[in-house]
Amino acid sequence: MKRLALTLVVILNITLVNIGLAQKATTTKKDSVYIIKTTDDMTDKTYYFISRGLVSIDNVNKQGFRLEAFLKKDESTNKIYMTDLKAKLVNIGSCNEKVTLIFKFEDESKIQLTSWNDFNCEGKAWYELSDSDKESLSTKKIVKIKFQNGRDGYESYTADITNDNDYYVQLFDAINKQKIKEEKSK
């Protein structure tokens, strides 16, 4: 039992360090969000993903999250679009289920979403966005993001978003203008 607990602590610390390094390496300059296209040279399958996610870390309480967009290509229009948001949660409960995600904007308006994926202990949460949610995210700056776990005593984490509050404005701009950079498969 002690080995299992120690292993879990080591894994969580490594995850927090990796997220922290990614956050420090991430620039928040204008146009730092774009679409990456990569093709697997063995299968010839093409993948699209975003250049960076939105990351927040509380080093004191060892909690945090990384939000990313899930992208797909519409074969009829040849355009890339966003389908869902995916979140990687760290220490917001030991397992996750029905995780509430709340965005608060500068104008005091809010979006509240509930994860649709199954119960898991990997810190994964997936969210579907409506057209009005996408409109708000594409035009408004974020001031706070809150995650509240629907399990484990409703543990929560709230992050003030100060230096990357236009992340989703940049993301939707990249999608609307199809800002795509091709990278070689590794």
What per-residue confidence (pLDDT) applies to 29?
62
Closest listed residue to residue 61, CA positions, set 156, 132, 150, 153: 156
Q: What's CA 134's distance to the chain center, in Å?
A: 14
Rounded CA separation 67/106 (Å)? 19
Please give the residue that has the higher pLDDT: either 28 or 27: 28
**pLDDT for 87 beyond 90:** yes
Rounded CA separation 144/103 (Å)? 6
> What confidence tier does 59 reach under pLDDT thresholds 50, 70, 90?
confident
Domains, the chain, in order of start with CATH, read: 2-184 (2.60.40)
Read off the pLDDT of residues 99-108 as tens digits, 9 standing for 90 and up: 999 999 999 9
Closest listed residue to residue 54, CA positions, set 16, 96, 87, 100: 87
pTM: 0.80
**pLDDT for 56 beyond 90:** yes
**pLDDT for 16 beyond 50:** no
Task: State the number of CA atoms in the 13 A half-sphere of 79 facing the CB.
Answer: 10
Please give the residue that has the higher pLDDT: either 33 or 14: 33
Locate 67 and state its tokens.
């939000």
Read off the pLDDT of residues 129-174 as tens digits, 9 standing for 90 and up: 999 999 999 999 999 999 999 986 789 999 999 989 999 999 999 9
Q: What is the mean pLDDT of residues 59-76?
A: 94
Q: Which alpha helices (H) appear in 115-179, and where do they start and end? A: 131-139, 167-176
Rounded CA separation 120/152 (Å)? 12
| Residues β-bridged to residue 183 | 38
What per-residue confidence (pLDDT) applies to 151?
82
